[in-house]
Amino acid sequence: MRSLARIGLIASGVVHILIGVIAINVTSGLGGHADQFGALSAVAAVPGGPLVLWAAAIALIGLALWQWTGPMAWRPSTAIPRRVRDRAKALGFLAVGLASLVFAIGGRSDASTAPHHVSAWLLNLPGGVFVLLGIGVVVGTVGGAFVFRGVSRNFREDIERPKGICGTAVITLGVFGHVTKGLALLLVGALFAGSAAFSDANWATGIDGAVRYLDALPTGAWPLLVIALGLMSHGLYLAARAVYMRR
């Protein structure tokens, strides 16, 4: 399980790096979907991609099982927030693993319209606007947790920090990656909340929609470039965590 977890962390890291690369492509007008589906679709399109996706799916599902059960062994019985966080992370890894499995067997998903369709469906249901608002709050809360984890450097509990300049580099990647990913999720949560507030499904478009929102800002491309570099940094941190994994 530890071996699968290490491979799963690397696979998750690669997905983050690809999302960052696609986000940079958006600023250059090259298109693509800057989210997990866009990254997995890019892998599926290369020779041997489906085999890579099969391996990634198995490893990510293994990582999810390890994250759900493994860390519990050393968590204090009073550490309820940590237990909740570990299991939430496990569900996140499981979601990416299942998405990899879908692409590995030839399935496809239009990432640019799926959140829009779900939002429109919810807005047409009685009380659906509150569900959509709740989704925005949950995503924003997760984003805030990432920012706090990066600023406080609590992520260090997951790694055996290497010595010297290598250790400094890993911590720097961890701080920058956690904070910027958290900011991206805060923006996604705000867009979902905006969709509920204005009863407009076009607001809720996931990470890809947040990327395009940043790209359209009058400030220029620099906010999007910061987020893109941050996602890539988080990917590199996940790869480093696979090497220096504490548990």
Residue range of the domain that includes 90: 2-243
pLDDT at 173 over 80: yes
How many structural domains is the chain composed of? Answer: 1
Helices H, strands E: what count in the chain?
9, 0
Q: What is the mean pLDDT of residues 149-168?
A: 88
Distances in Å between the Cα of 192 and the Cα atoms of 44, 70, 134, 207 are 29, 33, 9, 11
Question: Distance between CA atoms of 22 and 57, rounded to whole angstroms?
Answer: 21
Query: Which distant-in-sequence residues (6+ apart) come within 8 Å of 134 by Cβ?
Result: none
Query: How confident is the model over 53-109, as pLDDT tens digits?
Result: 888 888 888 888 888 876 544 555 555 566 777 787 888 888 888 878 877 787 665
Query: How confident is the model over 194-210, as pLDDT tens digits?
Result: 777 777 666 666 666 67
Burial of 216 from C-beta contacts in 10 A (0-12 / 13-18 / 19+): exposed
Q: Determine the pLDDT at residue 221.
A: 74
The answer to whether 121 and 128 are in contact (CB under 8 A) is yes
